[in-house]
Amino acid sequence: MLSFNAAKQLGDFALDVSFESDGRVTGLFGASGTGKTSIINMIAGLQTPDRGRIVLDNDVLDDTTARTHVPAHRRRIGCVFQDARLFPHLDVAQNLDYGRRMNGLPRDADDIRRVETLLDIAPLRARRTGQLSGGERQRIALGRALLARPRLLLLDEPLASLDEARKAEILPYLVRLRDETRVPMVYVSHDADEMRQLATQVVMLKGGRAVAVGGLALLPT
């Protein structure tokens, strides 16, 4: 369960959002410039709210009145960004293994196999990141985040930079991810169709506020 309640001034733009997730896939829906990415960055610990409180499963991650701020690397919150952000000096296998190494987790062949099967990425292991298509890059980024064993997965418009064909290629993997892993997710998108296929709950954002929180019926048709 994620409870988010934070305000941050971003230039001329004032973000002040509060919502609680249902613990499955929370969709943050809104046009660009509504502060979606800042919300993701605050949950991940990459940005600090000016004031507010962010709590995940009873762990306080941020509390500005108590001056609490858990740094990103101690949050165990995975991120998949619009640009996959694979490490170019490492090959695919090393990218996938990075989170396990940094968290000091034991090597788990079953876990690797499970994630590789889920995302169909086993044949890509030996490649350099420059030899991957956009869709492949996003699947590796997903696998890399999952293999770090996150408590929560943040997906910030993971399909936005892909063309329609690639989107159609990745979307089924995201659905499988939702149905086959137990990792709760926060999914950011400005695409209502995408949201309908993935989210279990929707937070409608407008002008830096959460104007409605509820079911998929909130989405525009």
Partner 1 sequence: MLDITPDEWTAIALSLRVALVATVVATPLGIALAWLLARRDFWGKGLIDALVHLPLVLPPVVTGYLLLLTFGRRGAIGAWLAENLGIVFAFKWTGAALACGVMSFPLLVRPIRLSIEAVDRRLEQAASTLGAAPWRVFWTITLPLAWPGVLAGMVLGFAKAIGEFGATITFVSNIPGETQTISAAIYSLIQTPDGDTAALRLVIVSVVIAMAALVMSEWLARRATLRLHGN
Binding positions for partner 1, rule: CB under 8 A: 44-46, 71-79, 81, 83, 85-89, 98-99, 102-103, 128-131, 144-145, 148
Q: Which residues contact 48 (CB under 8 A, 6 or more apart)?
A: 42, 62, 69
In the chain, count H helices and then E strands: 6, 11
List, in sequence order, the alpha helices (H) in the chain: 36-44, 92-102, 109-119, 134-147, 164-180, 192-198
Taking the least distance from each CB to partner 1, the nearer of 56 and 77 is 77
| CB of 149 vs partner 1, minimal distance in Å | 9
Min. distance of Cβ 123 from partner 1 in angstroms? 18
Considering the complex, what minimum distance in angstroms separates the CB of residue 169 from partner 1? 21
Q: Which is nearer to partner 1, 74 or 206 (CB)?
A: 74
Contact 19, 186 (CB under 8 A): no
| Secondary structure (3-state) at 203 | strand
Closest distance to partner 1 from the beta carbon of 132 (Å): 8
Report the residue number, 55 or 72, with the smaller CB distance to partner 1: 72
Nearer to partner 1, 46 or 216 (CB): 46
